[in-house]
Amino acid sequence: MAGICMGFEVHQPFRLNPVFSPEEAKGRRDLKSFYFDRRNRDILRKVARNCYIPAAEIVLDALDGGMRYAFSFSGTLIEQMEEWCPEALSLFTDIAVHPNTELLAQTYYHSLAGFFADRDEFVEEVRMHTDLMHDLFGVRPRVAENTEFSLDDGIAADLRDLGFQAVYTEGADRIVPVNALNETCTCCGIPLLLRNCPLSDDIAFRFSWPGWDKRPLMADTYASWIAMSPGRCAHVFIDFETFGEHQPRESGIFEFLAYLPAALADEGVALFTPSEAAALPPAAEITLRRPVSWADLEKDESAWLGNRLQRYAFSALEHSPARQMRPELWRYLGTSDHFYYLAQKGGSCGDVHRYFCPAGIEEAYDTFMAILSHLERRCLGKGKRPLASVPNPEAFHFRMPDGRYAGVSAHGLREFEEALLSVPGESVLWHLERGDYAPWIRDAIGDRKLAAEVETAASPADLERAVHERRCSLCTL
């Protein structure tokens, strides 16, 4: 018989302003009010009304009755509740300080910093988050989860070195040893807690699905499934927004949440906190050379980095000069949701992505690049301005001699330099012979000196050399 460790992710992003205008922000100092959607307040209040407040009240009653829960609050959610919904924050504070609750660490901005080539930013954001939990709730988390349970060997090692007792990830079929799903494992010397995907998704996704033969799911039925599960501890972890937001009140989801503790007790199911589960003897060692996450059917990083638009945006963010010059704004752009909105998937996964991004992928991408490029240009003086990215309509889109898109675009000098090495040679030569590069560098990038050099380039090698030398000289100014 398995016990249960039940946890909740609670997160809201600062969604970007889809009608951002550089002209409106000209000369303004409070860029945050221009970069982010004014509807964030209304969305937060709606979710609080539908989910956070009624669900938190049920959870508090359950905690008083002996139930145990784990909670992971993103820093961006806390900021929004502090400003726009203190009543929800008050309830979550009562939950956070309850002796039957364990708080988890994550990246403050619920970001993709763990996928950067260097993870200094990842480490810093985890420290920021643990400081927030301590300052707000008086607790320093001992167990961590990276954004959306994404994990690989490098991230696991970083969390181990930060002193965490354990880390969560998805119990994806491709990584779980036989008979180890409901067991504690290890990865790079840190205990690994594996989310039970089927039991979690029974609540998060299938609960009100008309085509599910187990609908309506009752608390006593679910508790019996936990009791019959093999292993020592089933980790059931879902978005807290499941209650009343993703699964509507009419589905019976609140009744399920309220009755589940008693149903588990009736079945004799043991209750674990993450720290208690981490102390169990490990059943296996797991190696994560490829990232795993709880997102989509692929259970990898493809929900955020699976297509060219996502990778362009991510690369531009990773190498942005705003990372050092305006980190207090730059970090909000690293929130995973901005990249999730850019996914181009079909089937049920595509339906979920479109639910969160109804405006469309191209619009979301244009908005992201417009805001990032504006922030960079505000950061940089005139001498370094060519290091900034440009919005997507001003990017250089490589084409083949027959006019077909070559599949690569450049939004700045770094991307342009990298593209010259990856784009088919005939495309590079075709644009060179047409004289396409110099006008783009002069007008979009704003570098007249480099444009003049490129105009005299006699070969792709000359072009590559000129771009590389100019970019390096700008970086050292």
Rounded Cα distance between 368 and 171, Å, is: 32
Rounded Cα distance between 424 and 400, Å, is: 8
Amino acid at residue number 427: S
Strand partners for 271: 4
Which residue in the block uniquely carries the two structure tokens 């301005």? Answer: 385
User: E-assigned strands of 240-305?
Assistant: none
Rounded Cα distance between 4 and 1, Å, is: 10
Rounded Cα distance between 79 and 22, Å, is: 25
Lookup: tokens for 461 = 């090698």
Rounded Cα distance between 82 and 89, Å, is: 7
Strand partners for 233: 3
Quick one: 359 exposed, middle or buried, by C-beta within 10 A (0-12, 13-18, 19+)? exposed
Residue 287: strand, helix, or coil: coil
Active site residue 148: yes
Catalytic residue among 9, 102, 148, 453: 148
Strands 185-187, 190-195: pairing is antiparallel
Rg of the chain on CA atoms, in Å: 24
Instruction: Find all residues with CB under 8 Å of 26, minimum gap 6, and list them.
Output: none
**In 357-412, alpha helices (H):** 361-379
From residue 235, how far is each of 18, 163, 477 by CA, in Å?
A: 38, 22, 52
Lookup: tokens for 206 = 């299938």
CA-based torsion, 127, 133, 138, 141: positive or negative: negative
Percent helix, strand and coil across the chain, each rounded to 5? Answer: 50, 15, 35
Find out whether 305 and 311 touch, Cβ atoms under 8 Å: yes
Q: Which residues are catalytic?
A: 148
